[in-house]
Amino acid sequence: MSQLEKRRIQQHFDAKASQYESSAILQQEVCKRMLERLDLVSLKPQNILDVGTGTGWGMQGLMQRYKSAQVFALDLSLPMLEQSRRKGSWLRKPKLICADAEKLPIADESVDLIFSNLMLQWCHAPAVFAEFKRILKPGGLLMFSSFGPDTLKELRHSWSQLDNDAHVNQFVDMHDLGDALMECGLAEPVMDADLMTLQYSTARMVMDDLKNIGANTPLNRSRKGLITPRQFQSVIDAYESFRNGDYLPASYEVIYGHAWKIAPRQKKIERADFTFPASQLKP
């Protein structure tokens, strides 16, 4: 991803920070489910990093769950971090970091738990996983969620009736994410997915929700110029083919994954004594 694209994404999330929570219902639900998954692992982290914290739901849940741990909240958007600051108490404030997940300003092997909710789709996953492995302590855990290829399939189909440009982001397959985890050296990856469907009265409401959370920024878009009202209406009309009674669906394939950083095995060299007769020595 180019720096220009990253800057564009950052600007969109900057602009929507104050109204993000009113439309990000699905993001909150996925975060809740991720926090519940921590019940299945035995971990007593000292340092936790919430990557792509947004307005801080994950950060808040992690502080409540691990009361003695130091929680660091990282996001590319400074206005998002300002929103998350309000979720800390006067007794316990999170440490906020404004940075790129592909270039983490974190020391090697310093974090016990990395938690990342619906951030990965905005990044180059192999680069992010490499950074995660670098900063995790041996025995540390990565837990993340992302979107899969069936996300917003109705909207993608509707835009495809207009042209072949990328009006909706393409998302990475669950198996490819699992392969990327192993290629960067993270161990025992576990991947699974849920299909979640939100219901809307109109297609415009689907697009408005995406706009309100800053997620209406497709990557690698080639089209230049504005969409005309007639062209936009053709997309709205195409979406109507998915209507089920009073509602239009918006599908989200939510991918969950976790993996560990395994401590390197120490090779044990045992001392051995050998005896042999001098007659076997050769000049």
Q: How confident is the model at residue 263 (pLDDT cuts 50, 70, 90)?
A: confident
Q: How confident is the model at residue 2 (pLDDT cuts 50, 70, 90)?
A: confident
Beta bridge partners of 254: 147, 194
Q: How confident is the model at residue 266 (pLDDT cuts 50, 70, 90)?
A: low
- Alpha-carbon span 133 to 155, nearest angstrom: 35
Residues 6+ apart with CB under 8 A from 230: none
Helix axis angle, 229-239 to 153-160, nearest 10° = 130
- Whether 235 has a pLDDT exceeding 90, the answer reads yes
Angle 19-123-141 (CA atoms, 0-180°, nearest 5)? 95
- Alpha-carbon span 35 to 258, nearest angstrom: 12
Residue 86 region, left (φ>0) first, then alpha (ψ -120 to 50), else beta? alpha
- Whether 281 has a pLDDT exceeding 80, the answer reads no
- Alpha-carbon span 72 to 266, nearest angstrom: 31
- Alpha-carbon span 99 to 52, nearest angstrom: 9
Given this model, what pLDDT does residue 276 score? 47
Q: How confident is the model at residue 19 (pLDDT cuts 50, 70, 90)?
A: confident
Q: Average model confidence (pLDDT) for the chain?
A: 88
User: Tokens 């076997």 sit at which residue?
Assistant: 280
- Whether 278 has a pLDDT exceeding 60, the answer reads no
Residue range 156-178, pLDDT digits in tens: 999 999 888 878 888 999 999 99
Residue range 118-153, pLDDT digits in tens: 999 999 999 999 999 999 999 999 999 999 999 999
User: Tokens 């495809």 sit at which residue?
Assistant: 160
Q: Residue 272: exposed, middle, or buried by beta-carbon count in 10 A (0-12, 13-18, 19+)?
A: exposed
Angle 21-72-118 (CA atoms, 0-180°, nearest 5)? 45
Q: What is residue 138's three-state secondary structure?
A: strand
Given this model, what pLDDT does residue 168 score? 87
- The pair phi, psi for residue 54, each rounded to 5°, is 60, -125
Residue range 66-124, pLDDT digits in tens: 999 999 999 999 999 999 888 766 567 789 999 999 999 999 999 999 999 999 999 99
- Whether 269 has a pLDDT exceeding 50, the answer reads no
Give yes or no for a contact between 60 and 31, defined as CB atoms under 8 angstroms apart. no
Write down the architecture of domain 3-149+170-196+252-263 according to CATH: 3-Layer(aba) Sandwich (3.40)
Note the pTM of the prediction, 2 decimals: 0.87
Q: Residue 97: exposed, middle, or buried by beta-carbon count in 10 A (0-12, 13-18, 19+)?
A: middle
> What beta strand segments (E) does the chain contain?
47-51, 70-75, 95-98, 111-117, 136-147, 187-200, 248-260
Residue range 47-68, pLDDT digits in tens: 999 999 999 999 999 999 999 9
Structure tokens at 262: 């395994």
Beta bridge partners of 255: 146, 193
